[in-house]
Amino acid sequence: MQLRLTAEVANRAGFRAVTTTGGAEALSILRSDRSMGAVILDLVMPEVDGMAVMEAMAREGLTTPVIIQTATASLETVVTAMRQGAADYFVKPVAPERLVVSLRNAIKLDTLEAAVRAEHARRSGTLSFSDMIAEAPAMARTVSLCAKAAKSTIPVMIEGETGVGKELVARVIQGGGERAGKPFIAVNCGALPPNLVESTLFGHKKGAFTGAIADQPGKFAEANGGTIFLDEVGDLPPEAQVKLLRVLQEGEIEPVGASRPERVNVRVISATNRRLLNLTKAGEFREDLYYRLNVFPIYVPPLRERREDIAALVDHFIARFAAEAGKRITGIAPGALDLLMRYDWPGNVRQLENTVYRAVVLTDGTTLETADFPQIIAQLGGREAALMSLDAVPVPAAPVHVDDAPPRRRQAEVETSAQDRFLDENGEVATVAEIERALIAFAITQHGGRMARVARALGIGRSTLYRKLHEYGLTDSIDSDAA
Ligand SMILES: Nc1ncnc2c1ncn2[C@@H]1O[C@H](COP(=O)(O)OP(=O)(O)OP(=O)(O)O)[C@@H](O)[C@H]1O
């Protein structure tokens, strides 16, 4: 009777109650469904009682928050239960409002704790396999390779489209191996200005160049004893490639301006969203370095090839962002999930993460609904999405396979081309029309061909933009406007 009433109150408040009358069954539910928000435990139950359930949970690392209910307010039992880690307790019969508040607090506490645990694990270099959602069959090979890679310290090369989770894979490999808890230093090689690549990676000595006012350790020195994660390693300039080869061959770095090399003990995990073998064939990447880095290759498939993971990823991101935003959001409506499952996610898990983040921030409800994903509706419907888009990170208009991925633009390269923008190829001052044409072409590349964004960035209307595209013979770019 009491059980039915409690379930009824919880269901009415928007929770989904699962009831059981025994401790053993409760434990098996908690083991099989780690996403349970909270458990209300009666201390008195036949066979396995409430305290025994809590002890088993602690032993097995089941972290679902526990609310204790007792028939008598014996201080001793309550104290023991709270010591065992119960989030709250109440004496039967309980007022419905008290029950609901207690459940809400417990769930909020749980999501917060999960977020704090994950952040702590990330910072301390102890992320484990349970922090990576990878239930889809397409991820099975990736996961088993990660487990093997974690057991050794050989160089690992992770390939996969932008945003698939390459850095997370690298962190999990480090967290699952003997270097867990040691430094994990991530460097985006594609984002370093060419003239600073060497000193950033290998450090420099005082006076090595103008502005080098003191000795500065590089990323390799910071990572000593741990792991360095070289993201977009294919973008390293040739000189830095030579130096990196030396680290891998000799275990030594040579800081800029140093008179002798320094020994380092660093595991190298590199990643690329462009097929490195193709760059090697094209002469853009040293072949000897390629073989040194690519001792143990791991491929991370794009999200559209593992849609089975979308639901779990969405739940994971909702829990994290709802806790951060201090909102109670219990999940996603089936229709909205269906929408997300149908989309192709050219920006992969990172795009999904940003999409859920935006929905969590904007919603007023307790469940994410279809209407909370206007960009995805627009893109699936083939309508102009860019107007509504608030993407914090650039997302390709359509999926870009690793074989076809273009290099990312370096900051400095953009600046250099900007400096030269008034001169034509003969060194003469360009005409206004030439500059305008080049500017429009540049904006189209920058905005992945999304014309509404291009128009907005250029400060002109879309019809003017289209007229100019025709005028300058740039109409090929119009095809990608749908995205
Ligand atoms: N399987 C996963 N489970 C949980 N979170 C994930 C998973 N994969 C990726 N993420 C999250 O998605 C975001 C993007 O992942 P990550 O930065 O590792 O991608 P990446 O492939 O290294 O991206 P880039 O190509 O831009 O360097 C991160 O916040 C990461 O924690």
Taking a C-beta distance cutoff of 8 angstroms, is the pair 384, 378 a contact? yes
- ipTM > 0.95 for the complex: yes
CATH code where residue 368 lies: 1.10.8.60
> Is there a single domain that holds both residue 147 and residue 277?
yes
* Domains contained in the chain, number: 4
pLDDT at residue 359 greater than cutoff 80: yes
Q: Is there an atom of ligand 1 within 6 Å of 405 CB?
A: no
Query: Facing residues of 269 across strands?
Result: 156, 229
Q: Please indicate, yes or no, whether residues 170 and 293 belong to a single structural domain of this protein.
A: yes
Query: Encoding tokens for residue 190?
Result: 């594609």
Which residue's CA is minimally distant from atom 6 of ligand 1?
Answer: 165
Euclidean distance between the first and final Cα of the chain, in Å? 55
Do 40 and 146 belong to one domain?
no
Tens of pLDDT along 200-244?
999 988 887 777 788 889 999 999 999 999 999 999 988 889 989
**Which protein residue has the closest C-alpha to ligand 1 atom 19?**
165
Task: Say what the pLDDT of residue 140 is.
Answer: 93
Answer whether residue 17 is part of any domain: yes
The closest-lying atom of ligand 1 relative to the alpha carbon of residue 169 is 18
Task: Measure 353 CA to ligand 1 centroid, in angstroms.
Answer: 9
Alpha-carbon distance 309 to 16, whole Å?
A: 22
Q: Model confidence over 110-143: pLDDT tens digits?
A: 666 666 767 777 776 677 777 889 989 999 999 9
R_g of the chain, CA atoms, integer Å: 28
Assess whether 280 and 312 both reside in one domain. Answer: no
* Dihedral sign computed on CA atoms, order 289, 179, 226, 119: positive
Does residue 289 share a domain with residue 317?
Answer: no
The structure tokens 């001052």 sit at 429
Same domain, yes or no, for 335 and 415?
Answer: no
36 three-state secondary structure: coil
Q: What mean pLDDT do residues 161-169 have? A: 94
Token digits of residue 200: 């950033």
Cα 351 to averaged position of ligand 1 atoms, centre (Å): 9
Residue 331, domain extent: 304-380
pLDDT computed for residue 314 by the predictor: 95
Q: How far apart are CA 444 and CA 457, in angstroms?
A: 10
* CB of 449 sitting under 6 A from ligand 1: no
Structure tokens that stand for 359 in this block: 């929905």
**Dist CA 233 CA 270 (whole Å):** 6
User: Are residues 254 and 153 part of one domain?
Assistant: yes
Q: Which of 337, 360, 380 is the last residue of a domain?
A: 380
Q: What is the CATH number of the domain that holds 77?
A: 3.40.50.2300
CA distances to 13, 64, 161, 298, 322 from 99, in Å: 10, 17, 47, 48, 21
Residue 479: C-alpha distances to residues 220, 397, 412, 451, 476 (Å) = 45, 11, 30, 10, 6
Distance CA 246, CA 235 (A): 18
